[in-house]
């Protein structure tokens, strides 16, 4: 398996250079096609305005969103036009409430979605919604790139392993990256004493990866910090890892999909690319 169709969604100039550079590097490395969607966000809520004003305001906000999307797309095309990769670029406008459908339809026909970090200065609600839509509705793995960029991505990779189906799905979908890594560290935090892997935490996964030619080792970590994400980020730094692979968790009675605590914590704290799948 290889990544031959890569997708990127950009909503503003923040982190554009770092994320676009990551997409270009991966497209070149994988000999893949890079599809970039420059998105203008219309944030109007017609029900909140006095009678007669909603239509005027909606049109004004739509025009502004279109202008922003086209300006962003022009920057993308200018950059990609100088590169030796296969690419396509498009500008579009969507309201916040319609993001899920738009992103899901596009994401499901790609092998990997590359996105900027959804939390931090200059980020909006739409950035988190795009990550959620690609993961949960598009059922496509996502590589979240920090503001510092891709770096020497994929040389030393930490795999967050908790025996869940989400974690296993992430490992399977990350195989094209794992097989090229110099070292893959399977990190198990406080394995349950009565779990199926109680006598050999991470052993079955290590064996599976070894059969694919992956150079893997297992680290069993104590839960010495309140959050799992904190432990994983610290462990990745200790190993000088340049990527983290983990399952994405979503659960909410009010929304179809929302990033779970461990997933959100990782995206807020990680300073290396995070590969996620659900």
pLDDT value at residue 61: 79
Domain containing 238 equals: 156-277
Residue 90 within any structural domain of the chain: yes
Residue 150 within any structural domain of the chain: no
Report, in angstroms and rounded to the nearest whole number, the Rg of the chain calculated over CA atoms.
20
Which of 98, 117, 144 delimits the end of a domain? 144
What pLDDT band is residue 265 in, cutting at 50, 70 and 90?
confident
pLDDT value at residue 119: 86
Statement to judge: residues 216 and 269 lie in one domain: yes
Residue 149 within any structural domain of the chain: no
Q: How far apart are CA 250 and CA 247, in angstroms?
A: 10
Residue 56 belongs to what H/E stretch?
Answer: helix 54-80
CATH number of domain containing 271: 3.40.50.620
Lowest mean pLDDT: which of 20-24, 42-46, 102-106, 240-244?
Answer: 42-46
Residue 122: is its pLDDT beyond 90? no
Give the full edge-to-edge strand order of the sheet including 142-145. Answer: 86-95, 33-42, 5-10, 112-116, 142-145, 274-277, 243-247, 156-160, 183-189, 216-221
Which of 110, 144, 178 delimits the end of a domain? 144
Residue 111 within any structural domain of the chain: yes
Read off the pLDDT of residues 155-193 as tens digits, 9 standing for 90 and up. 999 999 999 999 999 999 999 999 999 999 999 999 877
Statement to judge: residues 165 and 217 lie in one domain: yes
pLDDT value at residue 45: 54
Statement to judge: residues 85 and 132 lie in one domain: yes
Query: Residue 25 in contact with residue 143, Cβ under 8 Å?
Result: no
- Burial class of residue 143 (count of CB atoms within 10 Å of its CB; 0-12, 13-18, 19+): buried
Statement to judge: residues 61 and 137 lie in one domain: yes
Statement to judge: residues 161 and 138 lie in one domain: no
Statement to judge: residues 95 and 10 lie in one domain: yes
How do beta strands 142-145 and 112-116 pair? parallel
Residue 166 within any structural domain of the chain: yes
Statement to judge: residues 165 and 193 lie in one domain: yes
Number of domains in the chain: 2
What pLDDT band is residue 15 in, cutting at 50, 70 and 90?
confident
Statement to judge: residues 121 and 224 lie in one domain: no
């Amino acid at each position: 398996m290889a990544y031959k169709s890569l997708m990127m969604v950009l909503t503003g100039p923040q982190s554009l250079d770092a994320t676009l550079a990551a997409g270009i590097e991966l497209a070149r490395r994988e000999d893949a096609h890079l599809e970039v969607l420059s998105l203008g966000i219309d944030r109007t809520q017609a029900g909140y305005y006095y009678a007669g004003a909603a239509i005027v305001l909606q049109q004004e906000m739509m025009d502004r969103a279109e202008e922003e999307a086209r300006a962003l797309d022009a920057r993308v095309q200018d950059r990609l036009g100088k590169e030796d990769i296969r690419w396509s670029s498009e500008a579009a406008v969507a309201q916040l409430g319609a993001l899920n459908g738009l992103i899901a339809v596009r994401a499901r026909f790609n092998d990997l979605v590359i996105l900027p970090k959804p939390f931090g200065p200059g980020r909006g609600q739409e950035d988190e919604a795009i990550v959620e839509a690609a993961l949960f509705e598009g059922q496509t793995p996502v590589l979240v790139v920090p503001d510092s960029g891709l770096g020497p991505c994929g040389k030393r990779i930490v795999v967050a392993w908790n025996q869940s189906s989400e974690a296993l799905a992430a490992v399977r979908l990350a195989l094209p990256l794992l097989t090229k890594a110099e070292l893959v560290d399977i990190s198990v935090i406080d394995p349950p004493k009565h779990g199926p892997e109680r006598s050999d935490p991470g052993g079955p996964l290590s064996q599976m990866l070894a059969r694919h030619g992956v150079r893997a080792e297992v680290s069993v970590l104590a839960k010495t910090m309140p959050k799992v994400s904190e432990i994983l980020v610290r462990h990745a730094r200790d190993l000088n890892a340049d990527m983290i692979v983990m399952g994405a968790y979503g659960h909410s009675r009010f929304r179809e999909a929302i990033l779970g605590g461990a997933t959100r914590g990782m995206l807020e704290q990680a300073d290396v690319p995070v590969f996620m799948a659900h």
